[in-house]
Amino acid sequence: MLVRIAKNLARFIVTFLVATLAVFSLMRVLPGDPAVIAAGENATPEIIAQLAKEFGTDRSLPVQYWEWFSGILRGNFGVSYVTRTDISPLVLDKVQVSLILVVLAMLLALVIAIPLGTLAAVRHRKLSGALISGISQLGIAVPGFLLGIMLVTLVSLRLGWLPANGWTSPGDEFGDFLRRVILPVTALAGVQSAILMRYVRSAVLDVMHEDYLRTARAKGLSPMKALLKHGLRNAAIPVLTVTSVQFAALIIGAVVIERVFVIPGLGSMLLTAVGNRDLLTVQSVVMVLVAITLLINLMVDVLYTILDPRIRAAE
């Protein structure tokens, strides 16, 4: 198990390094110069040159990369020349908002997907099972932002039950936080629960045909009891894999949802920074996203070994 974790850690570091290079290069290929944007519509060539010098964007690319990268090694993203503030505390602040959103959405998706997916598998020959499958099919087809806009129109504007957008930190006023978090989390969880439901269903279906389940039934357990006692744990492995993959998708999905619901999270920060060609901030936010995704993969890997003794035994 230790070897496995060490291997994963090595992979984590290499991926992270490659990602820093990729993000850095991509941002330089993008048309649009931060000094030009800061100088705006009254710019003179002298002012643009002076700004570029102040921003440090007139230096060679390896120098710029090294300055940024060595900063990360010291745990500091540096000072954005566009916003003129420290990036690290700002990113940390926004990470919290996005994580609340993503984790709550994932939990909601799992809470919906596991029972419904199991039910759809158990009743796969019955109408109710087919109905659940049908709904999940429909759910996959509706993009999260569209669901978000529909929820705002219906729940906020038509019915006036919940605020249309905005964000309150849970520490400030928990009730208001709840009122504002319901719609975006629902919009984010919608597609995810539909996708997960399908995986739960097929995983449970697979398990149901296994010999050990038949044995359990022969011992006199009811189909449901046999499934709960012996089946679900085995079905959990593929579901866990999908969950970890979908987690990355959720983080990306949150970028758009944050925009729709005007939530000051990483996604909004990223889009604004790209618009301003705030290169350092974009790089830093993307690296945080990369790190979160890699960390989740790492954690899932550990969870595998815990859930399934066979994986441990294989080492």
Partner 1 sequence: MQRSTTSRRVRGVAVLLLSGLLALTGCTAGSTDKPGASGEKNKLTVALTGEPVNLDFTTTAGAAIPQAMMSNVYEGLVSVDQTGAIKPLLAKNWVTSADNKSYTFTLEQNVKFSNGADFDASDVKFSIDRVKSSAWLNGLKTKMDVVENVEVISPDTVKVNLKRPSQAWLYSMSTLVGAMFDPSGVEDLANKPIGTGPYALESWTRGDSIKLAGRDEYWGSAPGIKNVTLRYFADAIATTNALSSGDVDLVYNMQAPELLSSFQSKPEYQVIEGTSNGEIILSMNNKVAPFNDKRVRQAVMYAIDRKEVRDTAWNGLGTLVGGPVPPTDPYYEDLNDVYPHDPAKAKALLKEAGAENLDITFTVPTRPYATAVAEVVFSQLKDVGINVKIKSAEFPAVWLDEVFNRHDYQMSVVLAVEARDVLTMFNNPDYYIGYDNSKIKAEAALADESDETNYIAGMKNVVRTIVDDAASDTLFIFPNISVAKAGLSGIGANSVTEALSLASIAWS
Q: Which amino acid, 154?
A: L
Buried b (16+ CB within 10 A) or exposed e, 121-158: bbebeeeebeebbeebeebeeeebbebbeebbeebbee
Interacting residue ranges for partner 1, rule: CB under 8 A: 30-33, 36-44, 47-48, 50-51, 54, 82-85, 90, 93-97, 99-100, 103, 152, 156-157, 160, 162-173, 176, 259-260, 262, 264-265, 268-269, 271-272, 275-278, 299, 302-303, 306-307, 309
Beta bridge partners of 86: 79
Instruction: Tell the smallest beta-carbon distance from residue 211 to partner 1 (Å).
Output: 19
- Whether 283 contacts 81, CB under 8 Å: no
- Whether 201 contacts 120, CB under 8 Å: yes
Nearer residue to partner 1 within complex by CB, 276 or 297: 276
Instruction: Tell the smallest beta-carbon distance from residue 200 to partner 1 (Å).
Output: 18
Instruction: Tell the smallest beta-carbon distance from residue 123 to partner 1 (Å).
Output: 28
Nearer residue to partner 1 within complex by CB, 133 or 268: 268
Q: Cα–Cα distance between 194 and 136 in angstroms, integer?
A: 4
Nearer residue to partner 1 within complex by CB, 142 or 164: 164
Nearer residue to partner 1 within complex by CB, 56 or 264: 264
Instruction: Tell the smallest beta-carbon distance from residue 53 to partner 1 (Å).
Output: 10
Instruction: Tell the smallest beta-carbon distance from residue 135 to partner 1 (Å).
Output: 28
Nearer residue to partner 1 within complex by CB, 140 or 307: 307
Q: Cα–Cα distance between 247 and 263 in angstroms, integer?
A: 19
Nearer residue to partner 1 within complex by CB, 18 or 49: 49
Nearer residue to partner 1 within complex by CB, 73 or 313: 313
**Phi, then psi, of 303 in degrees rounded to 5:** -60, -35
Instruction: Tell the smallest beta-carbon distance from residue 176 to partner 1 (Å).
Output: 5
Instruction: Tell the smallest beta-carbon distance from residue 72 to partner 1 (Å).
Output: 19
* 165: number of Cβ within 10 Å: 16
